[in-house]
Amino acid sequence: MRTPTRALPASPTADPAPRDAEALFRSKPIAEIRSIEASTRLDIDAKSEELRQLVGRSYRDLIDSADSILLMRSSCDSISSNLSPHRVLPLVPLLRPLTLALPPRPRPRPRPHICPCRPRQVPR
């Protein structure tokens, strides 16, 4: 046995009555059914246009992003080619003065030898 299904209203002001075709033909006159069909088609067309615009905007954003990525790549390639002759300088001598500027680490104080068999003396 077929159970009737409810579709969403065609528009926010539309009657929230069941949209099952058989129920509509039983309860509504033909003129009202044609009116419902026309409003539903208008809603479908509006949603289709909204979807087209959304997809178009997303596509344009994607193309703009791809163009930006290509510009970044060419900039990076240009910077790399400009820096490559200067890479022969070793970096280690540049870092050595930084390590010499640090203060020497303090040496730990020697701890007195404590024998476990003698009682420990507390300094005064």
pLDDT above 70 covers a percentage of the chain that reads 56
pLDDT above 90 covers a percentage of the chain that reads 30
Question: 74 in helix, strand or coil?
Answer: helix
Distance between CA atoms of residues 89 and 18, nearest Å: 80
Pick from 23-32, 63-72, 76-85: least confident: 76-85
Residue 83: count other Cβ atoms within 10 Å of its Cβ. 9
pLDDT per position as a tens digit, 72-89: 999 998 888 887 666 555
Contact at 8 Å (CB) between 15 and 6? Answer: no
Average pLDDT on 38-62 reads 93
Q: Which two tokens stand for residue 61?
A: 């954003």
Average pLDDT on 98-107 reads 63
